[in-house]
Amino acid sequence: MNHAAGPTPVGRAGNPRLKGPQVTRPDTKSRIASLLADIERRNPAQPEFHQAAHEVLESLAPVLAQHPEYADAALVERLVEPERQIIFRVPWQDDHGKVHVNRGFRVEFNSALGPYKGGLRFHPSVNLGIVKFLGFEQIFKNALTGLGIGGGKGGSDFDPRGRSDAEVMRFCQSFMTELYRHIGEHTDVPAGDIGVGGREIGYLFGQYRRITNRWEAGVLTGKGRHWGGSLIRPEATGYGNVLFAAAMLRERGEDLEGQTAVVSGSGNVAIYTVEKLAALGANAVTCSDSGGYVVDEKGIDVELLKQVKEVERGRVSDYAARRGASARFVANGNVWDVPGDVALPSATQNELDAASAATLIGNGVKAVSEGANMPTTPDAVHLFQEAGVAFGPGKAANAGGVAVSALEMSQNHARTSWSRERVEEELTHIMNGIHADCHETAERYGVAGDYVSGANIAGFERVVGAMLEQGVI
């Protein structure tokens, strides 16, 4: 992977998480503070988006201090404003004939590096602020892959849990009836996220094909493997997260083999995180859902977990009941109370707070790698960094999913499919390259070992370089 060139190292300022000489120009700090205030004013009642913007902009102080041309071109002001925000009504009918109305979203944030790329999330918590936070993070995540894709995100406050296949199909068809006019393989390429798996992608693609009369395989990723999908795509986010964690440990002279891992969640990301941990010799002892968590001293049986969650759509309590004496279910408990060498939050945003971070640190955690999007609160990140815990932010650590989505787009463009071995080799190369970029960028800016700053700055440099060359658009 090509590593972005940049200015000579400078000290870090403007972020209380980090140590180092405070050499940032005062006008840069003032400008960032003004930008953050403006973001909150123009985007009221969107705390997740505010949080993501704060985390990124506070990392950029040394870059902006070294590059006054970025201010002259208002690149940051343009970067934090989506190119397009789409909100639409999604009416659908349940199996009893009752009509429901949900709200659909697609935020096309930045296309300087390529077509918008990012998942669709179907969950009752979805609102514009959450979609904007996810889309903003996606800009940098996608840039880090080096694969020529922009950032976007979307979804709906529809809850597919407990709905029949027919109800999910009718909802997806209604959702795509509006979304189709805003997407395309050269414009915007959605994928899956929470609540959107292979079933939903299939229904969405079928409706897109029906409306447009085009077999445009590259318009959606995460498709079925026999009609344009890529091998390793379901596994990619979890696999990539483990690969990033392994790279962080290698940087410290350690290895994943023999380590105990604490994993949250029990969806796609968590399942394949557990699977890859086992493949690399680590022992994942937990999984969780909204009802509580399971501790399995023998290690999570990934095949049983897949059966319970992917086939039966059951709960982790069902896993514990069927696993036997090695597993126990803790209702409404905190999975981060379980001791482990490595923690991989893989459920949802802000699930790991400062109190949980303190518990993990007290239990001797060595590395934390984010499988979910922004699952760790800012205070918790601060504690991990102060304690010297290797911390992999989601925009770097969970980029494996979108990376293989981009590889799926490449296969679709050539109307071919790659072997499992080739896709996994490409994924490993990409994740190791992302780790190297983040690590080297942090060193270049005088904050060695800070993967948060490294990821933010490396992604930012790639995006704003393209924006600067493409003019004021």
- Binding site feature residues for substrate: 117, 138, 141, 192, 405
Closest CA to 243 of 44, 463, 37, 426: 426
- Locate 211 and state its tokens: 């409306």
Query: In terms of residues, how long is the chain?
Result: 473
Contact 250, 394 (CB under 8 A): no
What's the token pair of residue 405?
């989505």
Residue whose C-alpha is closest to residue 248's, from 422, 121, 367: 367
Taking residue 306's Cβ as centre, other Cβ atoms within 10 Å add up to 16
Binding residues: 117, 138, 141, 192, 237, 268, 405
Q: What dihedral angle (degrees, nearest 10) is formed by the CA atoms of 216, 220, 225, 230?
A: 110
Q: What is the DSSP string of 313-353?
A: ---HHHHHHHH-TTEEEEET--GGGS--SEEE--S-TT-B-
Record the tokens describing residue 381, joined without a space: 């990140």
Cα dihedral 176, 180, 181, 182 sign: positive
Residue 153 a catalytic site member: yes
Q: Are strands 367-369 and 342-344 parallel, antiparallel or unpaired?
A: parallel
Closest of 78, 154, 31 to residue 463, by C-alpha: 78
Q: CA-to-CA distance for 35 and 26, rounded, in angstroms?
A: 14
Task: Write the burial class of residue 182 (CB in 10 Å: 0-12 exposed, 13-18 middle, 19+ buried).
Answer: middle
Backbone torsions φ then ψ of 454, nearest 5 degrees? -60, -45
* Helix spans in 92-235 (H): 128-145, 165-179, 198-212
Q: Identify the active-site residue in 19, 29, 98, 153.
A: 153
Instruction: Give binding residues for NAD(+) as ranges.
Output: 237, 268
CA distances (Å), 76 to each of 58, 395, 435, in order? 12, 18, 24
- What percent of the chain is helix, strand and coil (3-state, nearest 5)? 50, 15, 35
Round to the nearest angstrom and report the end-to-end CA distance of the chain: 28
Name the residue with tokens 């102060």.
386
At 99, which helix (H) or strand (E)? strand 99-110
* Catalytic positions: 153
